[in-house]
């Protein structure tokens, strides 16, 4: 049974068990709001169906089409155990107590080099379990290694060098009870600037009930807060992913306003067939206002399972 919380790979714990999955997720937004960047390191695909390790990158630059690239990793390239994420012996990705280094070349024309600096401690709710199956004891874990960080570096997009700097986020998902077994859908959002960040999750369980996790980071401190993305989750689960959707979310007694729609899609996979189920997946670059204050760059991600 999976019980330990650390940021190295758990492959040696879940490999060979039903439903084992694992990935690490880095989200970055430039300070000017022009670029949204995501790098995901996979031991498996998000559903634990494809067990081959790989790394992917999504980019959405204002006024341009979204880009998506991926490359396989050798089995064992992601270091097992240990407190930190290390990929390729630290040459590709290396986590330290202070932050994260990423140096990836998907091709000579598509590269990313950035350094993330931690601005807050990690966030772990309780024992890190997001949801579990009471009958089998299988569990899904989620820890946020860097709820609020800043980054700088350079992208090369189709051979064009682009300097980047802004705010960043880094989390880790793993377990032996994957999304499609425990949830009908979930929505995640992260908004941040140089001073603060808000991270929210709402998930709808297969047997009913909603899972909520929300934090606010300010002055280097992380605190759990009340918020609720479930109305937007219900709207997206009902369809209409090709339409503009606006949301008003109460966040720690304040109002966060943002929208998601096709023009903001960094990555979109609609009505895809995964064998035993179908799914919708969207990741949007967006901006939010908090009580009408200047826009805060952010990212919203949605997954819906169709059985």
Decide if 132 contacts 139 (C-beta within 8 A): yes
Q: Tens of pLDDT along 257-285?
A: 999 999 999 999 999 999 999 999 999 99
**CATH code, domain with 94:** 2.40.370.10
pLDDT at position 17: 81
Residue 127: inside a domain, yes or no? yes
Residue 264 within any structural domain of the chain: yes
> Taking the model in full, what pTM does it have?
0.95
Residue 76 and residue 86 in contact, taking contact as beta carbons nearer than 8 Å: no
On whether residue 171 sits in a domain, the answer given is: yes
pLDDT beneath 70, residues of the chain: 1-4
Task: Answer yes or no: is 2 within a domain.
Answer: no
In a domain, 191, yes or no: yes
pLDDT at 275: 92
Here the tokens at position 81 are 């155990």
Range of the domain at 208: 11-306
> For residue 62, is it within any domain?
yes
Give the number of domains in the chain: 1
pLDDT at 3: 56
Q: Which pLDDT score is estimated for 10? A: 93
Mean pLDDT (the chain, rounded): 94
Is 1 inside any structural domain? no
Rounded distance between C-alpha atoms, residue 192 and residue 105, angstroms: 27
pLDDT in tens, 27-56: 999 999 999 999 999 999 999 998 899 999
Does 6 map to a domain? Answer: no
């Amino acid at each position: 049974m999976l019980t330990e919380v650390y940021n190295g790979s758990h492959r040696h714990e879940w490999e060979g068990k039903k439903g084992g999955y694992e990935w690490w997720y880095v989200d970055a937004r430039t300070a000017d709001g022009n670029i949204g960047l995501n790098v995901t390191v996979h031991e498996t695909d998000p559903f634990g169906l494809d067990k081959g390790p790989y790394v992917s990158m999504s980019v959405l630059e204002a006024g341009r089409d979204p880009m998506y690239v991926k490359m396989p990793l050798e089995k064992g390239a992601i270091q097992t155990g240990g407190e930190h994420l290390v990929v390729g012996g630290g040459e590709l990705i290396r986590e330290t107590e202070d932050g994260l280094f990423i140096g990836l070349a998907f091709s000579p024309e598509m590269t990313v080099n950035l350094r993330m600096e931690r601005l807050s401690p990690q966030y772990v709710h309780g024992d890190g379990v997001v949801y579990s199956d009471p009958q089998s004891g299988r569990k899904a874990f989620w820890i946020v290694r860097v709820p609020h960080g800043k980054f700088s570096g350079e992208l090369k997009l189709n051979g064009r060098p682009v300097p980047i700097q802004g705010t960043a986020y880094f989390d880790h998902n793993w377990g032996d009870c994957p999304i499609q077994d425990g949830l009908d859908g979930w929505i995640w959002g992260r908004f941040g600037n140089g001073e603060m960040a808000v991270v929210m999750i709402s998930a709808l369980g297969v047997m009913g009930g909603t899972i909520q996790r929300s934090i606010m980071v300010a002055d280097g401190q992380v605190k759990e807060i009340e918020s609720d993305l479930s109305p937007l989750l219900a709207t997206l689960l009902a369809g209409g992913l090709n339409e503009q959707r606006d949301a008003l979310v109460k966040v720690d007694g304040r109002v966060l306003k943002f929208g998601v729609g096709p023009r903001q899609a960094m990555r979109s996979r609609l009505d895809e067939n995964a064998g035993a189920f179908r799914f919708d997946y969207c990741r949007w670059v967006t901006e939010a206002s908090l009580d009408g204050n200047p826009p805060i760059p952010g990212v919203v991600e949605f997954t819906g399972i169709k059985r």
